Amino acid sequence: MSGRASHRVSLQSPRIANSWLLSDGQGHTFLVDTGHRVERRSLAYSLRRAGIRRGGLTAVLLTHRHSDHAGNAAWLRDELRCPVICHADDAVTLGGREPAPRLARRGANAAYDALCRVEDRFPARSPVDEVYDEGSWRWGFEVIPVAGHTRGSTLLLHEPSGTLFTGDALLSGVPVQRLVSRLSLAIPGFSENVEACHRATRAFLREQRPVQTLCAGHGPRVTRKLPELFAALC
Ligand SMILES: [Zn+2]
């Protein structure tokens, strides 16, 4: 657990990608990203242990539409009766109104390419109840679009607690592992336009906003030396 006194952020149990539960101390509880569908039982167990029952989530907030982040969004929406919220540019793909751009490409890293083929074949689908407004939004969140990992990839800064959720735009570990603590920008092999994502992420980091806790899409929570780590990426 971390954050200022009244806020709590905890990591839920899916292992492929991170799923973060944020309680804001004001009666709101958010799940930022939902893990891959193959880890649904693990997520369900983890949420039950955290005391989350039907009606207990204020919203599911998605950093982007990839299946290891949005894979349980539709299921949670049904099970817990909570809204699913994401960026408009990913909502059209999640909702099935536009096909997902293909990620797999000839000549890419073979392991990553295999994962991309799975993503291309089985993209996440979910109804989306609301889309983000850019900038200061609701419940203390600031929404910072960083298009390029996906078209709708987004940073979410929970200003009251100084918690930054970054999805795959900024990673604190190599996907699947949580142990390596090294910050890196979006990975080219998994991104639609990685240069654009890097540019937008760096522009945000250069603003030197007060971030107390980094909760990335992959890798461990990071709370130490964040200004130095951010500066090294810019
Ligand atoms: Zn991703």
Q: How far is the CA of 5 from the centre of ligand 1 (A)?
A: 31
Lowest mean pLDDT among 153-157, 179-183, 217-221: 179-183
Cα 209 to chain centroid, rounded: 19
Q: pLDDT tens-digit profile of 166-209?
A: 999 999 987 655 555 679 999 988 999 999 999 999 999 999 99
Phi, psi of 165 (to 5 degrees): -100, 130
pLDDT at 13: 81
Pairing between strand 20-23 and 163-167?
A: unpaired
Q: Residue 219 pLDDT more than 80?
A: yes
Q: Which domains does the chain have, with CATH numbers?
A: 8-233 (3.60.15.10)
Mean pLDDT of the chain: 92
In sequence order, what DSSP letters do the residues of 35-50 get, joined into one string? --GGGHHHHHHHHHHT
For the ranges 98-102, 130-134, 157-161, the lowest mean pLDDT is seen at 98-102
How many CB atoms neighbour CB 117 within 10 A? 14
Q: Average pLDDT in the 136-159 region?
A: 97
Ligand 1 geometric centre to CA of 161 (Å): 25
DSSP assignment of 55-95 equals T--SEEE-S---HHHHTTHHHHHHHH---EEE-HHHHHHHT
Rounded (5°) CA angle 222-37-129: 85
CA of 6 to the centre of ligand 1 (A): 30
Q: How many angstroms separate the alpha carbon of residue 229 from the centre of ligand 1?
A: 21
Rounded to 5, what percent of the chain is helix, strand, coil? 30, 20, 50
At residue 103, the pLDDT reads 84
CA of 83 to the centre of ligand 1 (A): 21
Contact in structure between 164 and 211 (CB atoms under 8 Å):
yes
Distance 45 CA to ligand 1 centre (A): 24
Ligand 1 midpoint to CA 119 (Å): 10
- Tokens representing 47? 């949420």
Q: Name 77's Cβ contacts closer than 8 Å, sequence gap at least 6.
A: 60, 83, 84, 126, 127, 129
Q: How far is the CA of 26 from the centre of ligand 1 (A)?
A: 30
Could you give the CA distance from residue 200 to residue 169 in angstroms, rounded to a whole number? Answer: 9
**pLDDT value, residue 2:** 47
Tokens of 134: 């850019």
Residues 17-42: pLDDT tens digits?
Answer: 999 999 999 999 999 999 999 999 99
Contact at 8 Å (CB) between 132 and 84? no
Render pLDDT for 33-91 as a digit per residue (tens, 0 to 9).
999 999 999 999 999 999 999 999 999 999 999 999 999 999 999 999 999 999 999 99
* Average pLDDT, integer, range 90-114: 84
Per-residue confidence (pLDDT) for residue 101, from 0 to 100: 87
Q: Give dist(CA 216, CA 195) in Å, integer.
A: 19
CA-based nearest residue to 14, from 76, 68, 56 = 68
Q: How far is the CA of 174 from the centre of ligand 1 (A)?
A: 12
First to last CA, the chain: 29
Distance from Cα 167 to the centre of ligand 1, integer Å? 7
Query: Which whole number is the average pLDDT over 116-137?
Result: 95
Per-residue pLDDT band at 165 (split at 50, 70, 90): very high
